[in-house]
Every structure is written in structure tokens, then in C-alpha cells.
Amino acid sequence: MASSLRRLTSMAKSLRKLAGMSNSLRTLTSMTSFHGLPVEIILHIIDIYGSMSDVAYSTSKDRLCKLRLVSKQFNAIICPILFASLRLDFEDTQSGCSRCCEIIAALTSRSTNVFEHTKRLFIFNRQLYWTEEYQNRGISRTKVFVADKIHDAIMMLKNLTAIEYMYSPQHDPEQLAIGVIRALGTLPLIESFDNLRIFSNPPPSFTLKPISNFTTLRVHWSWDNSNNCLPEIASLLARCPQLTEVYLRSESYSTDNPDTSLNDIFAEVNKSERVLKLKKLGLCGVVVDPDDFEAHVRHFRDLTFLGITNNSSSKAYTAFGATCNILQQRNDIYLKGIVTDLSGDPLLLSYLSSYSGLTQLCLGLQDSKDDFDVVNQIYTQILPKHSKTLEHIQLGSVRSQIWCQIPTEEQIAGLVKCQQLKVLKVRSFVDERRLKQHDGTIFETWYEIGLQLPSLALLHITPKDVFYLERLWNDVKEMVAERYRKDRGMKFRVE
């Protein structure tokens, strides 16, 4: 085993050196020591040399494209990794559009079988249909080609299980959205709509009826008239009896529009008398009234995660805590994941103090009810209560004030008890004068906290409001992080 690890380290170093050499592919191909390696060793090399989870996605992809040419064995192992996700991202460049069109053409002509490994599809075409001919010569032909061929291209992704799609009815042709949805309806393994985002009001021809049987559904709509939206979403839920995860986000820019309620969302499911077995439910911009929640509680018997934000109910300030009490009393449920922008809810604080076992906690304060005592209670009492299981903590939101302050020593002591914590996301006030002097004190404070969390993989620090200083903020943050990596052995990633 030791000799294998030495070979692995040596080969990984060789690959890194070869990356910058013009004759790298010829050199790699001639290295007979690579042939016959165990699959586990090759996977380690792939992970070191070009992991697809790398922040620099395009760089990692280029590396893997070169690495698969080393041998047939490397190609067979790398292709399922390299082509597991397919991004049709029409960037504002001619090369970006050309690449996407080449992929669509290859799919429809069946000239390659590499996409038989594709399980996730991302379609981002807003830039394509927002661009005019005078801005990008030949773009009109590209628009027509994509709208005509997208249906047949998606149908070729026989092993597709998940999709993200952003639809802009104001700019996209009707044929495009119709083609995407109809094609999804033909795929036998599709089970997750990870993000269906719809901008503005879709035309009457838009329908979700061809699709069904999802287990995960995330829909984000932002239009002035939701009459076309809610019936489609409600109907889709009724056609997905195996649904376990639902995330719905409604954004309305007009006060004249009626609010989306739980009754609207579950209307068709209730007509069919089906009972969903939801495990995760996220609602943003949906009116959640405790009485309505209780009326649909049969769908929440297996719930482990609940997120409620931007709740416009007249009872919003205590609605989350009240729903948690309903889950506890009716279904004996103690949630493992909670997301709310009203962490001052006294019923919620009482609920969180009544048990242990949370793995995810995301808290903010939405309005003028900011209260130091609430924040202090969460740091010093609630976090320690769940310290053995918490893996993901997010403190603060766009509208928070008090969460953006540096925690006290007592509060820090409560936070660092969470020794299983892997992700920590916080917001911070910006001292513009000190930041312009490249004073990184604020980052040093959080890095010191992170060093006391042995399992931490990601520390995300977001500035409060001062977005015009974001570039300087990131530069100083990275400068201090580099020093901490060198001097203090800091391992976790900083964003």
C-alpha cells in the first residue's frame, strides 16, 4: 500500500508538471507506468489533478479532457466523471454559443456516445435571446437552431436524472420552453427539477403537464400575474406522488397580486386525496399561516427540514414556531434542518431549546425586532444544545443588523462547541476606512474562530450592504487567508 501511495504522489506531481508543457499529451501517452494501475489509484490521480468539484470548473474540465487521452483505461474511467454534468451556458461570446450549438448538433446527429454518461443538465439561455444581431453577428441563426433542436437534443440524454432551466418568456421563443418540457416528459430516469426559474408572465401555451413523477422540485417564479403559475405547480405536485423535496419561491413586484398560500399549492393534491411523504419543504414568499399548515399536516409526517422566509402572514412573527409545535404535537417530529428570517420568534426559540439533533440551522432577523438577547440566546444556549450534530450554520441575512456584529467571547465559546461543523456562513459590517487600508482584522477574528472548528470545510463571510467595495473586500479577505494558510496551517476554504 505504501509503495502504491508513493507511486500515486509521484504520478500526481508528474501530471502537474506536464500540464504546462506543449508536448504533455505525447509524454503522458508514452508513460507505460500508468497502464494497469488499480482503479482506486487512477481516481486519486483524477481527484488531485482535475476534480470536477474544483472552484475553477473550466480549468478542471480542460485538465480532465487531456487526461482521458492517456489511455483507454483512463478514458473509460474519466468519461463518466467528465460528462456527468452538461452545461448549455450561452455566454456572451461567439465561442460560448458555438460550443453549445456543437453539443446540440452532436446529440441530435448521434455522432458521439459520451453523453450517455450525462445525469445532470443545466440550460442557461437568457444571454442568447437577449442578444441582438448588431451585438453578435449570426446570433439570429443560432437562436432559431437552438429553438428547433433543443427538444431532440434533450431526448438523447437517456440517463438524465436532474435539470436546471431558466425560462424568460419575455425573450425566449415559445417553441424553446415547450421543447424542453416535452422532452423531459419522455425521459425514463428524470426525477429532479433542481431549479425551474421563470421570469415574467409565461404565455398561455406554457404548461408543465408533460412532466410528472419527480422526487425533487424547486420552482422560482417572478411575474406580475401568477394566474398561469399556481395551477401548473399545484397540478404538477399532484402528479408526483413520490415527492420528497419541494422548494417554492414566489416573487411578486406588484401589490395588486394575490399572495400565494399553502392552500393554493396543495389544492390539486388534496383533490386527488393523495398523501405526500415530504422530507424537505422550503417556502419563500408563500403565506404560511399555522392554521393552514395544520390543515395540510398529513403531507409532513416525514418532514426533517423546514424553511420559511418572506412570510407575509399577519401571524408571521410566531408562525414558524407555531408550525414546529404542530409538527411536534401531531407527528412527533423534531426537525434536523431549519431556515427562517425571523429568528426572534419566541415559539421557535422554545422549540429549539426543547431537543437536540439539528444538523442545519440558518437564521436571520427580518425587521426592527433585532434583539441582542435573542442572538445571545442562540449563541450561548441553542447552539451548544445541538453542538454534537450541527454541520451547517448560517447566521444573518440581508436585512439583519445585529447578526453582523462580531460575537462576544461568550458567544464565540458557544459557537466553537460545534465541533462537527463543516459549513459556517456569516455576515459582517464593513469598516470602509479600515478596509481601504487593507486592515484584515475582521477576517482574522473569523479565521481564529474557524481554526477552533476541526471539521470546518467552508467559511463564507459576506459584507453587509457595501457591495461597491466587494472586490476590495475579497482581495483583503484572500490576502489574510493566504497568510493564515502559510503561518497557521489553515485548511478550510474561504469564500
Rounded distance between C-alpha atoms, residue 362 and residue 383, angstroms:
12
Average pLDDT, integer, range 339-364? 94
Cell of 374: 435573542
pLDDT at position 15 over 80: no
User: pLDDT band at 68, cuts 50/70/90?
Assistant: confident
**Residue 44 placed within a domain:** yes
Q: Across-strand partners of 452? A: none
pLDDT at position 47 over 60: yes
Final residue before a domain boundary, out of 37, 55, 82: 82
Rounded distance between C-alpha atoms, residue 372 and residue 137, angstroms:
58
**Residue 201 placed within a domain:** no
pTM, to two decimals: 0.85
Assign 190 to helix, strand or coil. coil
The pLDDT value recorded for residue 22 is 34
Q: Return the higher-pLDDT residue of 222 and 23.
A: 222
Which amino acid, residue 160?
L
Give the domain extent around 41: 1-82
* Half-sphere exposure for 25 (CA within 13 Å, toward CB): 9
Distance of CA 370 to the CA centre of its chain: 28
Average pLDDT, integer, range 380-400? 90
- Of 5-9, 167-171, 183-187, 380-384, which gets the smallest average pLDDT? 5-9
The pLDDT value recorded for residue 226 is 58
**Dihedral (C-alpha) 423, 429, 433, 439: value to the nearest 10 degrees?**
-30
The pLDDT value recorded for residue 135 is 67
Average pLDDT, integer, range 333-353? 94
120-124/493-494 β-pairing? unpaired
114-139: pLDDT as tens digits: 999 999 999 988 778 877 765 667 78
Q: If you count DSSP H runs as helices and E runs as strands, how many of each does the chain have, helices first?
A: 21, 16
The pLDDT value recorded for residue 231 is 87
Average pLDDT, integer, range 424-444? 91
pLDDT at position 396 over 70: yes
- Of 203-217, 251-265, 318-332, 416-430, which gets the smallest average pLDDT? 251-265
150-163: pLDDT as tens digits: 999 999 999 999 99
pLDDT at position 168 over 70: yes
Rounded distance between C-alpha atoms, residue 114 and residue 79, angstroms:
7
Cell of 210: 408533460
Identify the CA nearest to 408 among candidates 438, 358, 372, 356: 372
Average pLDDT, integer, range 36-45? 70
Question: Contact 464/404 with Cβ under 8 angstroms?
Answer: yes
**Residue 262 placed within a domain:** no
Assign 423 to helix, strand or coil. strand
**Residue 75 placed within a domain:** yes
Identify the CA nearest to 15 among candidates 82, 60, 77: 60
Cell of 14: 508528474
Q: What are phi and psi of 182, to 5 degrees?
A: -65, -40
Q: Return the higher-pLDDT residue of 160 and 404.
A: 160
Question: Contact 64/50 with Cβ under 8 angstroms?
Answer: yes
- Alpha helices by DSSP H, 239-298: 262-265, 267-272, 290-295
The pLDDT value recorded for residue 133 is 66
Q: How far is CA 359 from CA 38, 90, 282, 347, 390, in A?
A: 36, 37, 16, 20, 4
216-222/245-251 β-pairing? parallel
**Residue 309 placed within a domain:** no
> Which helix H or strand E contains 435, and what residues bound it?
helix 432-436
Identify the CA nearest to 343 among candidates 369, 324, 322: 369
Residue by residue, DSSP assigns 23-40 as THHHHHHH-GGGTT--HH
* DSSP 8-state secondary structure symbol assigned to residue 259: P
Rounded distance between C-alpha atoms, residue 389 and residue 16, angstroms:
38
Identify the CA nearest to 477 among candidates 462, 488, 492: 462
Final residue before a domain boundary, out of 82, 116, 137: 82
The pLDDT value recorded for residue 274 is 86
Task: Give the chain's mean pLDDT.
Answer: 85
> Which helix H or strand E contains 344, and what residues bound it?
none
Buried b (16+ CB within 10 A) or exposed e, 261-287: bbebbbbbbbeeebebebbbbbbbbbb
Identify the CA nearest to 245 among candidates 290, 276, 284: 276
CATH number at residue 409: 3.80.10
362-382: pLDDT as tens digits: 998 654 445 788 899 999 999
pLDDT at position 425 over 90: yes
Average pLDDT, integer, range 463-468? 76
The pLDDT value recorded for residue 96 is 76
180-221: pLDDT as tens digits: 999 999 999 999 999 999 877 788 888 999 999 999 999 998
Count of domains forming the chain: 2
Average pLDDT, integer, range 279-285? 95
**Residue 100 placed within a domain:** no
pLDDT at position 43 over 80: no
The pLDDT value recorded for residue 51 is 53
The pLDDT value recorded for residue 204 is 83
* DSSP 8-state secondary structure symbol assigned to residue 70: S
What is the gyration radius of the CA atoms in the chain, in angstroms? 25
Final residue before a domain boundary, out of 26, 57, 82: 82
pLDDT at position 224 over 60: no
Question: Contact 265/289 with Cβ under 8 angstroms?
Answer: no
Question: Contact 152/119 with Cβ under 8 angstroms?
Answer: no
Query: Which residues contact residue 255 at a Cβ distance below 8 angstroms, ignoring those fewer than 6 apart?
Result: none
256-273: pLDDT as tens digits: 556 788 999 999 998 888
The pLDDT value recorded for residue 487 is 96
**Residue 314 placed within a domain:** no
Of 1-5, 22-26, 194-198, highest mean pLDDT: 194-198
Q: Across-strand partners of 461? A: 426
**Residue 444 placed within a domain:** yes
